[in-house]
Chain A
C-alpha cells in the first residue's frame, strides 16, 4: 500500500483569495497522477490527469503541476469562489489500473 499524503487537511479562505495544496508521494514509477474534486452529496469529478515530470494542466481558474523526481503535485485555485468549496483528492495510478488515494484537502470558501 502506497502512502499518498495531502496537505493541508482543511483550508478556509475568503472569496477572491488564491490558494494551493499539495499531494506528496514516494517517487516511483506510476502511470499517472489524478486530481478529483468531490462536492458533498455528489460524485467525485475528475479535474486533471498528469503523467510527465513538469506537466502543467489548467482548467479555468484551477491549475496543477507535477514533479515526479521530488514526488509532489500542486493544485492551485486562483480567485477562489464559494462554488469551489469541496474536498480535493489526489490519486496515483499504477499498473492494472490500481489507484491509491490521499486523504484529501477540504476547502471552504467563505463569501
Chain B
C-alpha cells in the first residue's frame, strides 16, 4: 500500500513570496490533515478535511494560509505572503474515518520550509 506522498520535500523562499505544498493521501482515507511543526514544538493542526469538506480550520492563519481538497483526494496548502515565522515542517496525514473509537493517522515525509 502506497503511503502519504508530499511534495516538495524542501523549499527555500524569501519573505513575502508565495509557496504551495501538495499532498496525496492513502487511497480510501477520507480524513486529511495539515500540520505545522516549528522546531522544538509539537505538530500543530492547521486544517482537517473530511472528504472535501473542512472539519476544523480554527488554527489556520486565514489572512495568509489557504488549503483546498478538491474531489476529496489530493490537497494543496498555500502560503501567501510568507513570513519568517512560517519556517517549519509542514506535515500531511490521512486516516480512515471511523465513527466511534477513532483511527490511526498515517504521515507523509513532510515539507521543510525555510523563509529568509
Chain B, Cβ-Cβ closest to A36: B107
Q: Offer 10 A-B interface pairs, CB within 8 angstroms, sorted by A.
A: A32-B102, A41-B109, A42-B109, A43-B3, A45-B107, A46-B106, A97-B95, A99-B45, A101-B44, A104-B42
How far, in angstroms, from A45 to B3 measured CA to CA in the complex?
11
B-contacting residues, A8-46, CB 8 Å: 9, 31-32, 34, 36, 41-46
Known: A43-B106, A49-B104, A97-B98. 20 other contacts (CB 8 A): A4-B42, A6-B42, A9-B40, A34-B104, A36-B107, A41-B109, A43-B4, A43-B108, A43-B110, A44-B107, A45-B107, A46-B106, A51-B101, A95-B102, A96-B56, A97-B103, A99-B33, A99-B105, A101-B43, A101-B44
C-alpha spacing A81/B33, complex, angstroms? 32
Whether B43 and A89, one on each chain, are in contact in the complex, defined by CB atoms closer than 8 angstroms, is: yes
User: Which B30-79 residues have a C-beta within 8 angstroms of A?
Assistant: 31, 33, 35, 40-45, 48, 55-56, 59
Judging by beta carbons under 8 Å apart, are B48 and A98 in contact? yes
Residues of A within 8 A of B (CB): 1, 4, 6, 9, 31-32, 34, 36, 41-46, 49, 51, 89, 91, 93-99, 101-104
- B1-31 interface with A by 8 A CB criterion: 3-4, 31
